Structure 1
Amino acid sequence: MKPELTLHQRTLTLKRFPVRKNETLQAWDAADEYLINHCQEMELDPERPILIMNDSFGALGCWFTNQAPVTSVTDSFIAKQACQENLERNQLPPISIIDCLAKLPQNPQLVLLKQPKNNRLLSWQLQQLCHLLPADCMVIAAGKVKEIHTSTLKLFEKFLGETKTSLAVKKARLIFCKANPSLAKPLPRPTQWDVPEHKLTITNHANVFSSDSLDIGGRLLLDFIPQDKKYQDIIDLGCGNGVIGIKAAQLNPQAKVTCVDESFMAAASCRENANINLENPEQLTVVNANCLDNFEPDSADLVLCNPPFHQQNTVTDHIAWQMFCDAQRTLRKGGEMIVIGNRQLGYHEKLKRVFSNVKLIGQNNKFVVLQSTK
């Protein structure tokens, strides 16, 4: 896959993060190109901020950083790393990159919003913008035609203001909207619910998987978290709201538990849930990272994992592969990895290749729970 984006006599070299050999996916899409082309004739104020939301790998941040101060808002540690590396790769000035819970810059002249996979995050961001935007600021959102539904446009109408759409180009479409101050409401609080069989109360921010109940995979995995004094260092890899790591901490009060996720909202949810549910919240540490990058080898006794099978809007198995390989490197000899996944994802074969051993320790009609030992 060629990493060069060429538009309007300008070329950027853009790569996804993490960089992989023989990459088959590019670091931008038709929606990015449509936004860039549409904005090419706009007269931008070099002093007023441009606000970019959900920039997958930094294509938009790289394109606009020479035109005005840019603030990029993302819930993804990986997207942040990709943007920073692509800025350096193209010798471009840095931009401000903040997470979705941070305060937005005042008086932006333009908002460019890539449609997120999660409508809860979209609703949260539109409500943020309605409080913030001056009357002359246009919001231009972009996404794949097949992912912009009537319900999507209704969210813009409900939370931000009158909405119009463009024609489709290369299977992408733009949405145009300006903020209507009369629609501004207090930002919604995170959802919260109980898991009574495990005596847990769980809080979720907008972009965390399974917003108002415990997902069925996580519920099954809870029943297979081991309890043993031999576990001194436990990792919940891809922790989401932290329910697995928190239960592991309750069962193993002697252990240090590290919860790892690339979502900033997941990390915030996990920290809040540790404070709610643990007698000693300091037993649990929350880290934003790409899998187990920069974790010391031979430093953990148990890794618990419910791997994602998509990155942004792309279905992929490379995240699971990296999680399994990173866990094998990070575990001490005799350490264990316990994984839950849909039956059809083939994690049994992947774990066997990485660890040379795997056994089935639990299952239901949809999921399997697998264990491998280093």
Structure 2
Amino acid sequence: MNRLTTPWGECGLTRFPEHPRETLRAWDSADEYVLRYLAGTEGPRAGQDTGPGADPGPGPDAAPDLSGAVVVVGDRWGALTTALAAARRGSATTGPLVQITDSYLTQQATLANLRRDGAAADEVRLLSARDTPPERIDVLVIRVPRSLAQLEDQLHRLAPGVCPDTLVVGTGRVTEIHTSTLKLFDQLLGPTTTSLAVRKARLIHTSPAQGRVRAPSPWPHSYALPDGLGTVSGRTVVNHAGIFCAERLDIGTRFLLHHLPHREGAEHVVDLGCGNGVVGTAMALANPEARVTFIDESFSAVASAEATFRKNVDAGTEAAFVLGDVLSDIPAESVDLVLNNPPFHTHQSTTDATAWRMFGGSRAALRPGGELWVIGNRHLGYHTKLKRLFGNCEVVTSDPKFVILRSVKN
């Protein structure tokens, strides 16, 4: 656990799941920057990019009023939410503090960090990216996501609750804020400017405009799969914003679909890290007797997987759609086959921690003789990890970029 010093005191923060040897912090300089701004200790800096008619926001002597409806979007591990809960504690409030996230892990980290900081159970409302935002927002804090599509979807959802007097401030690392980012804020909310960089972070300031005409949100987005992909050839995939490769089928999944295992009988198959669910749907179509469970930590991914599945299978076909931390909610030795394309980054950090947890969780969930199939970039060296966990690992097939590995639980 590390301690974040905020204008309202210190708070101990961890990521989720908490690991005693975790080296990555639960916040970064972008979080610190926006918290100083919201406390009134750091206003617009000299040389700030201020466009015509833009409101640069309050200066150092004019701390924003945080007593109304405060909405925090895209908080990575609950650092912003925990700090703002402390800022409002003990003062009269007229509106809720709301966190909106697409991540189950973020929600769990936030709950743990709030409890550690002494927050009451009703201090914060936790909403998912699929929930309806509050009808009125007085202060809107947005941690810019990696996905421009996710930001677009969020701003479309938030816009009805933003009023002319709403304080809108975004934050992110300089590598996360681009011209396209600012253009979205400008198009969907109002005139937008950005600050100078401070410790490789920037702030985004938006002055909400009344009567702004917005095109309908393009999300969710659907497309037809190409031919040559077995049971899902020509099928429709449904994608909510923010999931991996939401606008097209990624080449890794395409490669896996060409080489899926042929299974028969009433087996329990898990599509782990399911994304839009196309892999699990392909298995269900190939083996109608199989019971398929789709698992992801993204609310939007689970929603996409269910929509894709329902779009392509016969009505009444059963499947499970699980939002959670890898296979922690799956009974031990209850699964026959796990299919997995693990991520190798968490936000801006490259790490194999998630892959390790996915592989370890798969081993616990598999029955003796059950199989884990993994696809990944060749350079990631997953075969070494799988051999350590399972005692075996074979290459099913490979090409110059990807490799499909198979491990069996003995």
TM-score by length of 1: 0.96
Query: What are the Cα deviations for residues 134-169 of structure 1, in whole angstroms up to 9, with x where unaligned?
Result: 110021000011221222222222222111111221
1:80 is matched with 107
Indicate yes or no: 2:327 matched with 1:292: yes
**C-alpha distance in 2 between matches for 1:8 and 1:367:** 47
Give the superposition deviation at 1:43.
Answer: 4.2
2:55 is matched with none
Match of 2:70 among 50, 65, 72: 50
**C-alpha distance in 2 between matches for 1:252 and 1:286:** 18
Q: Is the 8 A contact 2:13 2:79 kept in 1?
A: yes
Please identify runs of 4+ aligned residues in structure 1 that moved more than 6 A: none
Match of 1:251 among 262, 269, 286: 286
Q: Is the 8 A contact 1:275 1:281 kept in 2?
A: no
**C-alpha distance in 1 between matches for 2:223 and 2:236:** 6
2:4 is matched with 5
Match of 1:187 among 217, 223, 226: 217
Give the superposition deviation at 1:231.
Answer: 5.5
Q: Is the 8 A contact 2:8 2:83 kept in 1?
A: no
Q: Which amino acid aligns with 1:56?
A: R
Q: Which amino acid aligns with 2:342?
A: P
Query: What are the Cα deviations for residues 43-72 of structure 1, in whole angstroms up to 9, with x where unaligned?
Result: 4252x2101000011111111124252111
Instruction: For 1:31-180, list aligned pairs within 5 A.
Output: 31-41=30-40, 42-44=63-65, 46=67, 48-66=68-86, 67=88, 68=93, 69-94=96-121, 95-180=124-209
1:327 is matched with 362
Aligned pairs, number:
372
Higher Rg = 2
1:26 is matched with 25
**C-alpha distance in 2 between matches for 1:178 and 1:247:** 47
2:52 is matched with none
Q: Which amino acid aligns with 1:121?
A: Q
Match of 1:266 among 301, 313, 325: 301
2:270 is matched with 235
Structure 1 unaligned spans of 5+: none
Match of 1:209 among 232, 244, 252: 244
2:253 is matched with 218
Q: Is the 8 A contact 1:161 1:183 kept in 2?
A: no
**C-alpha distance in 2 between matches for 1:336 and 1:240:** 20
Cα RMSD, aligned residues only: 1.5
1:313 is matched with 348
Give the superposition deviation at 1:372.
Answer: 0.5
Query: What are the Cα deviations for residues 161-207 of structure 1, in whole angstroms up to 9, with x where unaligned?
Result: 11111122111110000222323333323111111422321010111
Q: Which amino acid aligns with 1:352?
A: K
Change in CA separation of 1:256 and 1:328 when aligned onto 2, cut-off 3 Å: same
Query: What are the Cα deviations for residues 249-282 of structure 1, in whole angstroms up to 9, with x where unaligned?
Result: 1112111100000110011111111110111454
**C-alpha distance in 1 between matches for 2:252 and 2:178:** 28
**Paired residue secondary structure (2:237):** strand
**C-alpha distance in 1 between matches for 2:275 and 2:207:** 33
TM-score by length of 2: 0.88
Q: Which amino acid aligns with 2:100?
A: V
Structure 2 unaligned spans of 5+: 41-62, 228-232
Query: What are the Cα deviations for residues 325-352 of structure 1, in whole angstroms up to 9, with x where unaligned?
Result: 0001100000000010001111111111
Q: Is the 8 A contact 2:69 2:137 kept in 1?
A: yes
